[in-house]
Chains A and B, each alone.
Chain A
Amino acid sequence: MDKFTTLTGIAAPLPLINVDTDMIIPKQFLKTIKRSGLGVNLFDEMRYDSDGNEVEDFVLNKPAHRDAKILVSGDNFGCGSSREHAPWAIKDFGISCVIAPSFADIFFNNCFKNGILPIALPQEDVDKLMDDAERGSNAIITVDLESQTITGPDGGEIHFEVDAFKKHCLLNGLDDIGLTLEKVASIDVFEEKAAQARPWV
């Protein structure tokens, strides 16, 4: 997995609540058997018209935000389907950090498996970053995972929380399966005990 340490770049504002994974990557793009190549279809139905042309005023089509590395959005980001194609598409587009007041559970977990840092912040901090994001390339933002801080264009710092284990895995680009297999002895023991206690399973 890709490491995430620090990230400096343009943020794109998407001031909508309940951005669902169907919006992030519509189902017609779930037919792939690969993880890559989904970036061009990120937010497809908002980003392109029915003829496949770019919708000019959609944020990721604007010159100031085309190269965004950070996305700032509203409450309950990533709700809906469990499709990991959503973080794959976000990552493939070039965004590795999403900031919102709250996230849906499955999407939040999926981000960490793909080198994306989702940051939940109080509404007023998100509002502030949303303003910065509106200014596009005039407002570069830096996210530092080690120190858990976001530095805005005016030098102001915002602290954020992150689960210690997830932070460790992101910083070091650790593969979950590899980590779990180090504990395979515990799984073996559990399986034996469970087979005794609940043999019908």
Chain B
Amino acid sequence: MTGKTLYDKIWDAHVAHEAEDGTCLLYIDRHLVHEVTSPQAFEGLRMAGRKVRAPEKTIAVPDHNVPTTLDREEGIKNEESRIQVEALDTNAKEFGINYYPVDDIRQGIVHIVGPEQGWTLPGMTVVCGDSHTATHGAFGALAHGIGTSEVEHVLATQTLIQKKSKNMKVEITGKLSPGVTAKDITLAVIGKTGTAGGTGYVIEYCGEAIRDLSMEGRMTVCNMAIEGGARAGLIAPDETTFEYVKGRPHAPKGAQWEAALNWWKTLYTDEDAVFDKVVTLKGEDIAPVVTWGTSPEDVLPITGVVPSPEDFTGGKVDAARRSLEYMGLKPGTPLSEVAIDAVFIGSCTNGRIEDLRAAAEIVKGKKIAEGVRGMVVPGSGLVRAQAEEEGLAEIFEAAGFEWRLAGCSMCLAMNPDQLAPGERCASTSNRNFEGRQGFKGRTHLMSPAMAAAAAINGKLTDVREVM
């Protein structure tokens, strides 16, 4: 018998029922809930007279709609957003699930709150009605996004109807060069595999460059597994993971900790396990990258030039033409000459303390370029508090950034934080889709350090030049 992958091991430990055709009921250890994709699910439960099967394993936090301005305690002004957040309040109370309301310092983006509070642990199955649930894979947890019908299914049954995906390995060998971060790794991988390259697979990221990353960096990498089409991204837990988890409010303690640790240490891919697909990148070959188009696969090193539609083949020719028109870019323009109007530092991809430190390091003692609007939105109230304690908030404010409260903010612009039509943004979020950050807004994805450098220079910038 051949060995098992990490994915195989977690999967096998969670199959509650398997039908003859391989359709399984996968038991779910943690169910995270936010206000946008859950109201219809709770309503469905109510209409059918059903309960939440495991409220103690269910965690809710409002994040997508919440204002991030300091006046938010006065209430949400947009009526629809307010109704959605109020619906989550009501549902959390009525069904007795764990809840972090807007005025709780622990509130934040659901994928930042889960790990921060120790809800996410190695070897777990984690789902949320949100595609970036992949983030939690950084702990060696099988984590993926689901739709609202599936949210209702998990609430009612604590299981999900699933068929097993295939195994894919993404190995990043060697060391990263200075100025290159987890964000560059994950974008470079999507640039190589395309946004559908991972469809049908669960990706395990491995190799020296991955091992060297902090938990924050690993979360950034796994966060964007979905942008590569994969159902989930995984990184085997190790000392870095255990160190991060230890002592968190919902992490096991005492004898339970020892028992957990024993199991967690078995969570790795066996030497003789077979992957269905393997992609390898050399850490040394990865440069600081930015996106130029409207798909996360439109990735180029910052030293590159805007491509021409003729550089592509098949359906991508038209797609590139459309992207360039939308983005207002001319082929052949050096990327480092593209002027920006706004900078957004935040999101579940890059809204953690380490991201803010990296950005602050670049910004320190400098000012945002004239005419550029900059916004820093910490991923959670606790990240915000820590950044204030470390003096990062002061650095950002002195440079001219707005220092905001926690939430999704301009990552998807459901709250008032939006780009105006035609505005160009250097963003640390994960999607550069048309209209994502505001109607006709233009998004370039990059790392926090690169976004900070762009803010200072007023144009896309190679961070290595300002380090």
Against A, the Cβ 8 Å flags (1 = close, 0 = not) of B1-41 are 00000000000000011010101010101000000110110
Contact B319 A17 (CB under 8 A): yes
Residues 65-88 of B contacting A (Cβ, < 8 Å): 65, 78, 80-81, 83-84, 87
Residues from chain A with Cβ under 8 Å of B161 in the complex: 165, 176, 180
Contact A102 B84 (CB under 8 A): no
Would A28 and B414 be within 8 Å (CB), given that A74-B315, A76-B195 are in contact? yes
Q: Is A79 an interface residue (CB 8 A)?
A: yes
Contact A35 B199 (CB under 8 A): no
Contact B431 A191 (CB under 8 A): no
Q: Considering the chains assembled together, what is the distance between the CA atoms of A104 and B413 in angstroms? A: 23
B123, B256, B259, B433: residue with the most chain A Cβ atoms closer than 10 Å: B433
Taking a contact as CB atoms closer than 8 A, the residue among B36, B78, B157, B260 that contacts A180 in the complex is: B157
Would A33 and B25 be within 8 Å (CB), given that A76-B195, A180-B153 are in contact? no
Q: Considering the chains assembled together, what is the distance between the CA atoms of A27 and B435 in angstroms? A: 9
Please, could you name 13 A-B residue pairs with CB atoms under 8 Å apart, sorted by A?
A: A17-B319, A20-B431, A30-B414, A81-B131, A81-B412, A82-B129, A82-B131, A84-B37, A106-B131, A183-B16, A187-B17, A194-B27, A199-B259
Closest chain-B Cβ to A31's Cβ sits at a distance in Å of 4
Contact A82 B146 (CB under 8 A): yes
Residues from chain B with Cβ under 8 Å of A87 in the complex: 147
Q: Considering the chains assembled together, what is the distance between the CA atoms of A84 and B121 in angstroms? A: 27
Taking a contact as CB atoms closer than 8 A, the residue among B19, B39, B40, B153 that contacts A176 in the complex is: B153
Contact B84 A105 (CB under 8 A): no
Closest chain-A Cβ to B68's Cβ sits at a distance in Å of 16
Closest chain-A Cβ to B249's Cβ sits at a distance in Å of 13
19 other contacts beyond A22-B433, A26-B435, A82-B129, with CB at 8 A cut-off? A16-B319, A23-B433, A23-B434, A30-B36, A32-B80, A35-B40, A35-B148, A74-B315, A83-B37, A84-B149, A103-B199, A106-B144, A177-B152, A180-B156, A186-B16, A187-B25, A189-B16, A201-B29, A201-B121
Q: Which residue of B lies closest to A183 (CB)?
A: B17
Contact A110 B149 (CB under 8 A): yes
Q: Considering the chains assembled together, what is the distance between the CA atoms of A45 and B326 in angstroms? A: 12
Residues from chain B with Cβ under 8 Å of A34 in the complex: 40
Q: How many A-B residue pairs have CB under 8 A?
A: 183
Residues from chain A with Cβ under 8 Å of B297 in the complex: 18
Residues from chain B with Cβ under 8 Å of A199 in the complex: 256, 259
Residues from chain B with Cβ under 8 Å of A194 in the complex: 27
Residues from chain A with Cβ under 8 Å of B196 in the complex: 18, 75-76, 79, 102, 104
Closest chain-A Cβ to B19's Cβ sits at a distance in Å of 7
Q: Which residue of A lies closest to B430 (CB)?
A: A80
Q: Considering the chains assembled together, what is the distance between the CA atoms of A164 and B22 in angstroms? A: 11
Taking a contact as CB atoms closer than 8 A, the residue among A45, A103, A114 that contacts B435 in the complex is: A45
Would A180 and B159 be within 8 Å (CB), given that A20-B433, A201-B121 are in contact? yes
Q: Is B467 an interface residue (CB 8 A)?
A: no
> Across chains A and B, which 10 residue pairs bring their CB atoms closest together, nearest first?
A200-B252, A113-B149, A31-B80, A190-B16, A110-B147, A33-B39, A84-B147, A17-B315, A82-B145, A84-B148
Size class of B's contact patch? 35 or more
Residues from chain A with Cβ under 8 Å of B167 in the complex: none
Q: Which residue of A lies closest to B297 (CB)?
A: A18
Residues from chain B with Cβ under 8 Å of A45 in the complex: 434-435, 439
Residues 292-309 of B contacting A (Cβ, < 8 Å): 295, 297
Residues from chain B with Cβ under 8 Å of A18 in the complex: 195-196, 295, 297, 319
Would A201 and B229 be within 8 Å (CB), given that A17-B319, A32-B80, A183-B17 are in contact? no
Q: Is B158 an interface residue (CB 8 A)?
A: yes
A34, A104, A164, A198: residue with the most chain B Cβ atoms closer than 10 Å: A198
Q: Considering the chains assembled together, what is the distance between the CA atoms of A109 and B147 in angstroms? A: 8
Closest chain-B Cβ to A181's Cβ sits at a distance in Å of 6
Residues 219-268 of B contacting A (Cβ, < 8 Å): 229, 231, 252, 256-257, 259-260, 263
Q: Considering the chains assembled together, what is the distance between the CA atoms of A26 and B441 in angstroms? A: 13
Residues 26-56 of A contacting B (Cβ, < 8 Å): 26-28, 30-35, 45, 50
Taking a contact as CB atoms closer than 8 A, the residue among B25, B39, B43, B163 that contacts A163 in the complex is: B163
Q: Considering the chains assembled together, what is the distance between the CA atoms of A106 and B144 in angstroms? A: 9
Contact A177 B157 (CB under 8 A): yes
Residues from chain B with Cβ under 8 Å of A32 in the complex: 80
Would A82 and B130 be within 8 Å (CB), given that A191-B27, A200-B252 are in contact? yes
Residues from chain A with Cβ under 8 Å of B150 in the complex: 109-110, 113
Q: Is B436 an interface residue (CB 8 A)?
A: yes
Q: Considering the chains assembled together, what is the distance between the CA atoms of A50 and B318 in angstroms? A: 24
Contact A106 B145 (CB under 8 A): yes
Closest chain-A Cβ to B79's Cβ sits at a distance in Å of 9
Contact B131 A80 (CB under 8 A): yes
Q: Considering the chains assembled together, what is the distance between the CA atoms of A80 and B36 in angstroms? A: 15
Residues from chain A with Cβ under 8 Å of B121 in the complex: 200-201
Residues from chain B with Cβ under 8 Å of A200 in the complex: 121, 252, 256-257, 259-260
Contact B231 A105 (CB under 8 A): yes
Would A198 and B65 be within 8 Å (CB), given that A22-B435, A33-B87, A84-B37 are in contact? no
Q: Considering the chains assembled together, what is the distance between the CA atoms of A201 and B153 in angstroms? A: 20
Against A, the Cβ 8 Å flags (1 = close, 0 = not) of B181-215 are 00000000000000110011000000000000000
Taking a contact as CB atoms closer than 8 A, the residue among B25, B39, B65, B421 that contacts A183 in the complex is: B25
Would A31 and B295 be within 8 Å (CB), given that A45-B434, A82-B147, A187-B25 are in contact? no
Residues from chain A with Cβ under 8 Å of B57 in the complex: 201
Q: Considering the chains assembled together, what is the distance between the CA atoms of A162 and B39 in angstroms? A: 30
Against B, the Cβ 8 Å flags (1 = close, 0 = not) of A72-112 are 00111001111110010000000000000011111001100
